[in-house]
Amino acid sequence: MLSTDEPPTLYHSLQQKNNSVLSLAADSDHIYSGSQGEAVNVWDKSTFKLKTSLQGHTASVLALAYAPDLKWLFSASGDSTIRVWSTETLHPLFVLNPHLETDSGDIFCLAWNSAASTIYFGCQNTSLQWFSFDSLVRKSSGRNKVPSSAHALSLEQVLLESGLSSGSSTPRRAHKFFDSYPQYERKPADLNARNPTCSSCSTPPTPPAGTMTPHSLDDPCLQPQSNSSRPHPPTVLQVPPTNMVWSAHYGYVYCMALVPSLTEGSDDVAPSPGDNIQLVTGSGDSTVKVWALSADTPVHQYTFECCQGAVLSIVVRGDTIYAGCQDGYVKVWDLDTRTLVRSIIVSENVDILSLSMLHSDLYTCSANGVVQRWSASFNLTASWRAHEGIVLSSMITRLSDSIDQNGEHADKHSHERFVLVTGANDDQIKIWEVNPPKPPPHASTERRGIWNDEDTDVSRDTMVYALSKFVSIPSVSSSSIHKEDCRQAAIWLRKCLHQLGADASLLPTGDTTNPLVLAKFIGSQTKSPKPRVLFYGHYDVISAPKTGWTSDPFTLSARNGYLYGRGVTDNKGPIMAVACAAADLLGRRALDLDLVFLIEGEEEAGSGGFEDTVRRHKASIGPIDAILVSNSTWIAEDTPCITYGLRGVVHCKVQISNKGPDLHSGVDGGAITEPMTNMIKLLGTLIDKDNRVTLPCFYDSVRPLTEQERQLYKVLSGVTQTPASALSARWREPSLTIHDIRVSGPTNATVIPSTVTARVSIRIVPDQNLDTIAKCLQDHLLNEFKNMHSPNTIEVTVPRTADWWLGNLDDLWFKSLEDAVREEWGVEPLRIREGGSVPSIPYLEKEFSCHALHLPLGQSTDQAHLPNERISLANLRRGKSVVERFFVNVAKKGS
């Protein structure tokens, strides 16, 4: 895929002489780079000059992590230690030894959890380890003050009191693997095998239990800054055995990230107290694991199998995990549904060693020196050669343009901008100017700029405001281009329902289909069992070519009392109306029933995976007493309606082929039996001269017209100015339609197509049997074709079906809904049927053994599926009121 935008501008280059840049971190004043040569280099953000080098590690610095709440920098190394530095004084604070010390091997990755003041890290020995500074921070000078070397004496006292310094190990031991010579040399392990070039520097020993480490104040491993006081020696800490998950993976733990991500460049929302925080780890075993951090010990929740070699890098945005793998793949996983969203092929067979996120933009850094930018829809928007070597590390950070005369930041908040910082084995650190992507409308919190009619006061209407965000997501389920938009619509709806007071989650429906949104509004506690109502809807929409639209179909517009946009009436508007009705009742403590939302994302594309998913999660959905649907329109403009019947449908595909190539009619015309001729004759057998379907026994089970229905059609005929016979034919009589005939090859007048395909559908009514009619259609087509004795071949398939539905007009639920409509509108609602089909309604009735109710909110001129789709603002608001009344009525009468 070609890039569409210009690559970022190179803002500055830094050279880390003769040392690969293995890791990067930053705070507001500095860029930190971990080197192959054992040091952490500190670069001034305002002057881009090397300020100092933090010395102490005795092997490569493989990972860096900044703790902004404490102003600490963590550095992890191949020497099996983690060092902690004050970013205010650039002095060492702690040396943290992992459990098993050097037996843990290299420490590849770090993640700081500010909520628990805990550092997590992944090791070469496949373990996941962690250490909590929480008691130290609390006992020091309060959570908002930083324990730095300036008051290290008080730190020592706190350490002694809290027992954080206790350990049980001796000074560094030789490791039988990492420090050994090749076996054929038969030499003992060498303690100095991985020591630094300065012979006096070594890994600080672990102190005996209950004592402090006697460091020299003249530690040559620290390079003090000029005009600074002599640093206090770092305190040595030990990870206790309880703080380790042994064999967290079956390979090296290369990378990790927290959910939510609060790194620079992230647009994730900080967790509230009590929110779940998760840790995500990636390994050489080709897996990504998710760990819950609510307990003292990380609890394994789920494993994603990447199957593309080692997982070398990870970033997180919201509920989405991006895993950079060997062989040039980025696997994109949905945390909520635990499904693979996308496999991005960055560059075949080229390892992806680092990933960074700037809001919804993903930056991939590869071993060939190329950096690429990918949009929220996984489109490649920029690609450039960033380095002449392997890109080993990257990060997003902020810079400020305002510098005073002394080279300091004049205003920390003026002219801030983002940069992408990349480091490679060419000894270069590159700083690239990057801009956050424009947020999609549904992500914006601003209300301005969406209303064209000043007289329409909707600016403070939660329902309309939420609908404007919902409509802005082009969740077209029939288009692969909008696959990610559909997932984002599901994520947005889940969050919206949660904010309105529901417990909400996503249910996966398959690898190629969109997730279900399951949400529960729990009503007030009562002594007797509460009714449980299931509301069914769909968040997907059909495509909306802009031809014929007065305004952007995916921008909600308000004109003359109507809201315009794709999905406002089918079906996003009704979803918002019902959700806000439940939220209002919940807020008034007047919701005396449980309302379960089940919103699918495949209704406009055949409801793929819906039935299996509902069946699989039936226990989570729970028992249901009634089903409410709002997915249709009135038959007129001014009189409210209740729909009580839908026709079913059988979709059939017929294909006739001669298995050869397309031919020229001037050369072969008359010499062969043409598939098109067969198809026309075959389709002609489906309808007789009186326009009746010719399938055997087709009309035998059709329910006869009752006198009550006859009188109803007379009333409706007067309202709609449509003949009663036409209404009957559209609503309660079966029909057959030939939709199209498509051919192989070009469609000019000289080609004999080798393959001809037709699409046929039958609308069925009570009491026709769906399976019987589908089989009857297939058998008829096959038998008639056989009687033609054609040398061609035929294939008949039935890809989709939906059963008919007829509501019960005499039960409590229907009467309660009818009462609610009458109370709100002050008129008797019309009872209507429709000729279309909603496949999920009859299925849900059978699955939960209860009745369904269908409340249309739109008017007959709402243009569903057409340009300028709209819904009346009054209908939307009064529809919400009808739903509230219905819930109150039902709760009073009981289930």
Share of the chain above pLDDT 70, in %: 85
Is residue 463 a contact partner of residue 876, using CB atoms and an 8 Å limit? yes
Inform me whether the pLDDT recorded for 403 exceeds 90. no
pLDDT tens digits, 272-287: 877 889 999 999 999 9
Long-range contacts of the stretch 774-779 (C-beta < 8 A, 24+): 774/650, 774/652, 774/798, 774/801, 776/695, 776/696, 776/697, 776/698, 777/650, 777/652, 777/695, 778/652
Active-site residue 603, yes or no?
yes
pLDDT tens digits, 73-89: 999 999 999 999 999 99
Higher pLDDT, 203 or 324: 324
Active-site residue 336, yes or no?
no
pLDDT bucket at 471, cuts 50 / 70 / 90: very high
Instruction: Map tokens 């480490």 to a residue.
Output: 213
pLDDT bucket at 894, cuts 50 / 70 / 90: low
Inform me whether the pLDDT recorded for 181 exceeds 60. no
Domain boundaries, the chain: 9-434, 442-647+805-893, 652-699+734-801
Q: What average pLDDT does range 209-215 have in this prediction?
A: 34
Residue 688 — φ and ψ, nearest 5°? -90, -175
What's the topology of domain 442-647+805-893? Aminopeptidase (3.40.630)
Dist. CA 391–CA 365, nearest whole Å: 6
Strand positions, DSSP E, 326-378: 329-334, 339-345, 352-358, 361-366, 370-374
pLDDT for 296 equals 83
Burial degree of 587 (CB within 10 A; 0-12, 13-18, 19+):
exposed
Inform me whether the pLDDT recorded for 1 exceeds 50. no
Dist. CA 823–CA 881, nearest whole Å: 10
Instruction: Map tokens 């649907």 to a residue.
Output: 629
Q: What average pLDDT does range 8-22 have in this prediction?
A: 92
pLDDT for 224 equals 41
Helices (H), 826-858: 840-848
Eight-state DSSP code of residue 476: B
Rg of the chain in Å (alpha carbons): 34
Higher pLDDT, 794 or 172: 794
* DSSP H or E stretch at residue 244: strand 244-245
pLDDT for 458 equals 41
pTM value is 0.80
What SS3 class is residue 464?
Answer: helix
Q: Which of 431, 348, 361 is nearest to 394 (CA)?
A: 431
Average pLDDT, the chain: 87
Inform me whether the pLDDT recorded for 616 exceeds 90. yes
Which CATH number is 652-699+734-801 given? 3.30.70.360
pLDDT tens digits, 351-360: 999 999 999 9
pLDDT bucket at 229, cuts 50 / 70 / 90: low
pLDDT for 561 equals 94
pLDDT tens digits, 643-698: 999 999 999 999 999 989 999 999 989 999 999 999 999 999 999 999 999 999 99
Inform me whether the pLDDT recorded for 178 exceeds 70. no
pLDDT for 140 equals 58
Residue 798 — φ and ψ, nearest 5°? -120, 90
pLDDT tens digits, 294-333: 888 999 999 999 988 999 999 999 999 999 999 899 999 9
Question: 640: which 2 tokens?
Answer: 């409210």
pLDDT for 890 equals 93
Dist. CA 253–CA 857, nearest whole Å: 54
Dist. CA 885–CA 328, nearest whole Å: 57
- The full DSSP string for 727-787 is HHHHHTS-EEEEEEEEESS--STTEE-SEEEEEEEEEE-TT--HHHHHHHHHHHHHHHHHH
Q: What average pLDDT does range 414-441 have in this prediction?
A: 89
pLDDT tens digits, 708-721: 889 989 999 988 88
Handedness of CA 671, 675, 681, 682 (dihedral sign): positive
Residue 619 — φ and ψ, nearest 5°? -65, -35
Domain 9-434 has CATH 2.130.10.10: yes
- Candidate list 540, 600, 784, 803, residue with the active-site label: 540
pLDDT for 415 equals 55
Inform me whether the pLDDT recorded for 581 exceeds 80. yes
Burial degree of 783 (CB within 10 A; 0-12, 13-18, 19+):
exposed
- Candidate list 319, 361, 485, 603, residue with the active-site label: 603
Q: What average pLDDT does range 492-496 have in this prediction?
A: 95
pLDDT tens digits, 793-834: 999 999 999 999 999 999 999 999 999 999 999 999 999 999
